[in-house]
């Protein structure tokens, strides 16, 4: 696929608008339109979807999403230098692209979706993004901890560093298993779709990237997500220690906590399935003073 539309090549767009990638913003631009189209296709049929894209940069993935038929794209970009380039895409696809200048971590994304042209409550909402490396994990955790559940989104198709992608899909007894794997496994079905070589980016990062697709479970095991984050942070913060030692930072007696959760005190975090951590979160909730929440690290 040499071209997906009649707009200028991305390298020309970057040169015209002076869009040298900034390390401080975690920017690595994906210029290969074959790859941006492949990422877009990973989200499935977008013809009736409102798509949220975070960090569109010069708009390579934005163009692929629109060219492949996304009904409407809401693109959230923190770097104001990119706005003129995105405006050119909006002009090429009239009425189908909303560009929001701001920080996605601070945006009310569900409200932006609800305000998108043609959106109706319950419509298919997909988040598709080559996430800036410095905020990708924080955004994913925010979306996994969304309340109420099922969430406002119907699918996440996201690019991460390969190391982070492996943590998202990891399970017990996997070296990459940790808090991120528990949160993702608790509420979603997650899989790695494909890898992207560093050479595909400008500038090339030092690592391989991977595209991950997550679909929400309709009825995940019930627990307080904030407490689940807390117990996993404690357990994996000292992952080589037995649970009776690693969970002491929770500020409660660990032996009764583990007994209620049905977990051996001599077990280690890396061997505990998602259901075990959910049981720990439920047990911790019973030991907190009424009305007091445990802060998440």
Q: What is the pLDDT of residues 73-103, one digit of tens each?
A: 999 999 999 999 999 999 999 999 999 999 9
Q: What is the pLDDT of residues 238-267, one digit of tens each?
A: 989 999 999 999 999 999 999 999 999 999
The structural domains of the chain, with segments of one domain joined by +, span 10-216, 225-285
Q: What is 225-285's CATH number, 3.40.190.80, 3.30.200.20, 1.10.8.100, 3.40.50.2300?
A: 1.10.8.100
Neighbour-count burial of 2, counting CB atoms closer than 10 A to its CB (0-12 exposed, 13-18 middle, 19+ buried): exposed
Q: Please answer whether residues 21 and 203 qualify as being in contact, where contact means their C-beta atoms are separated by less than 8 angstroms.
A: yes
Q: What is the pLDDT of residues 16-51, one digit of tens each?
A: 999 887 878 777 888 888 899 999 999 999 999 999
Q: How far apart are CA 108 and CA 37, in angstroms?
A: 27
Beta strands in 155-259 (DSSP E): 155-161, 188-196, 201-202, 209-216
Q: Which residues are annotated as a binding site?
A: 28, 30, 55, 77, 103, 130
Q: Which residues are annotated as a binding site for S-adenosyl-L-methionine?
A: 28, 30, 55, 77, 103, 130
| Crossing angle of the two packed helices 136-144 and 162-169, in degrees rounded to 10 | 20
If we measure between CA atoms, which residue out of 80, 77, 45, 46 comes closest to residue 60? 77
CATH homologous superfamily of 10-216 equals Vaccinia Virus protein VP39 (3.40.50.150)
Could you tell me what percent of the chain has a pLDDT over 70? 97
Give the up-direction half-sphere exposure of residue 172: CA atoms within 13 A in the CB hemisphere: 11
The whole-number pLDDT of residue 132 equals 83
Q: Please answer whether residues 284 and 296 qualify as being in contact, where contact means their C-beta atoms are separated by less than 8 angstroms.
A: no
């Amino acid at each position: 696929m040499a071209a997906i539309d009649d707009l200028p090549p991305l390298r020309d767009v970057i040169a015209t608008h002076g869009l040298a990638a900034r390390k401080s913003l975690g920017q690595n631009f994906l210029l290969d339109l074959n790859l941006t189209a492949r990422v877009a296709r990973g989200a499935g049929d977008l013809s009736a979807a409102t798509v949220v894209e975070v960090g569109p940069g010069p708009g390579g993935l934005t163009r692929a999403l629109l060219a492949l038929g996304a009904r409407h794209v809401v693109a959230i970009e923190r770097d104001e230098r990119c706005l003129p380039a995105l405006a050119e895409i909006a002009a090429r696809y009239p009425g189908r692209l909303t560009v929001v200048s701001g920080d996605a971590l601070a945006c009310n994304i569900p409200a932006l979706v609800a305000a998108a042209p043609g959106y109706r409550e319950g419509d298919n909402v997909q988040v598709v993004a080559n996430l800036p490396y410095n905020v990708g994990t924080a955004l994913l955790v925010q979306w996994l901890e969304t309340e109420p559940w099922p969430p406002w989104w119907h699918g996440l198709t996201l690019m991460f560093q390969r190391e982070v992608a492996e943590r998202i899909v990891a399970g017990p007894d996997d070296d990459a298993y940790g808090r991120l794997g528990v949160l993702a496994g608790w509420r979603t079905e997650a899989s790695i779709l494909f890898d992207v070589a560093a050479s595909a980016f400008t500038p090339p990062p030092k690592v391989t990237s991977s595209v991950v697709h997550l679909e929400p479970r309709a009825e995940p095991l019930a627990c307080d997500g904030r407490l689940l984050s807390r117990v996993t942070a404690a357990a994996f913060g000292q992952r080589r220690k037995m649970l009776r030692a690693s969970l002491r930072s929770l500020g409660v007696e660990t032996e009764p906590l583990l007994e209620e959760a049905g977990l051996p005190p001599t077990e280690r975090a890396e061997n505990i399935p998602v259901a075990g951590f959910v049981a720990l979160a439920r047990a911790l909730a019973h030991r907190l003073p009424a009305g007091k929440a445990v802060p998440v690290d």
